[in-house]
Every structure is written in structure tokens, then in C-alpha cells.
Copies of this chain bind each other. A is one copy, B any other.
Amino acid sequence: MSDGLHKPGRRLIGIDDGPFDRKRGANVLVVGVVCRGDRLDGVLTTHVRKDGWNATDRLIAMIRDSKFSAQLHGILLDGITLGGLNIVDLPKLARDTGLPAIAVIRRKPDRQGMEDACGRLPNQGRRVAMLRRVGEVHEAEHVFFQVQGLSPDEARRVVDSTAIFGYIPEPIRMAHLIGGGVITGQSGHRA
């Protein structure tokens, strides 16, 4: 399924959340950046609840309802949670959009630490089950990832080939800069 996703010309959406208030239930901006190679084609946005349960449904609606829905080839996420511990059900996201979905993680995830964090919120069992459903953690050149709907080898090629500036796939990097700039007034590094 979707071999060749790493090739130029494939249109990918990279997703990240913006900075948010610490209080549970806060409204969190989520930015989706549609790119073909290094060209920005469009920007999608939605909102999720901090530590809530609606991340998966909001992402599915954002992608399905967009003008790009028929032309996307894959989804790249900055990690498996949005807005704190609002967990993305990666298998459901891939199934309901019909697209391979890759969650990119900078550091090898501390699964036990995440499961403990879930214990400070209601419904720990349901959150832990979702985290476990996401599947194995794989290693790319500079980052780690989890994937649904695509072979780990092909996902690794996508992650490595889209990291143009630095280690993070370009659509995720751009979504991160946009979310920060919109919420706080400025984002980025001078380096």
C-alpha cells in the first residue's frame, strides 16, 4: 500500500498543535500544512480540547472536509498526542481517511512515563489502551516514528526524505512554526 509515498510530487499533510493553556479543557489550535515537496500548497486548521478525546475525530474531519482530501497521499503527525494527552487513534485515522499515517517523535518515547501521566487524568485505562494500539516504535535516520497503513521501510523513507531543514519532516516543521506564530505572536529561531 502506497509504496512510492516518499517520491517527489506526493502531497503530504503535516500536523502539529500550537501552544496552549495548561488548564484541562482549553481550546488548542491544530495546524495542518499541505505540501508537495517543499512547496506549501495550503493550510488547514481545527481545534481540539486539552487532554480531551476529540483529536482523532477532529483530524479526520479536517482532512476529509478539505479541498485536498482526494489529493493527499499521506499524513505526518508531530507525535501521537495533541493538546496534552488528547491521543490520536492512529489506526482509526489511517482507516477513516484511507491514508497512511506516520507519527514522528524526536526522542524514543518513554511509554511508561506516558502511561503514568495518563494516570493523572480520568479514564487512564482507555488512554493507555489507545497508546498501546498505535504500535511499534521504529527508528529513522534522526528521529523515531510509529506508522499505520504503510510498511515501516517505506515510512522511514518518507520521514528521512521530507526532513529538508533539520531532522523533522518539513510539513510538520512548518505546522509547528505556524501554530507558534499565530498563538504567541512569533515563532522560529534566528540561527
Residues on A close to B: CB < 8 A?
Answer: 29, 31-32, 34, 38-46, 62, 66-68, 70-71, 165, 173-174, 177-178, 180-182, 185-190
**Nearest chain B CB to A174 CB, angstrom units:** 5
Contact for A190 among B67, B177, B182, B186, CB less than 8 A = B67
Contact call B185/A40, Cβ cutoff below 8 A: no
Q: Which residues of B contact A178 (CB under 8 A)?
A: 43, 178, 181-182
Whole-angstrom CA separation of A182 from B66 in the bound complex: 13
User: Known contacts A43-B177, A178-B43; is A66 also within 8 Å of B34 by CB?
Assistant: no
Q: Which B residue's beta carbon lies closest to that of A181? A: B43
Q: Which residues of B contact A29 (CB under 8 A)?
A: 182
**Nearest chain B CB to A15 CB, angstrom units:** 12
Q: Which residues of B contact A39 (CB under 8 A)?
A: 165
- CB-CB nearest 7 A-B residue pairs: A42-B188, A43-B181, A44-B186, A43-B187, A41-B188, A43-B177, A66-B186
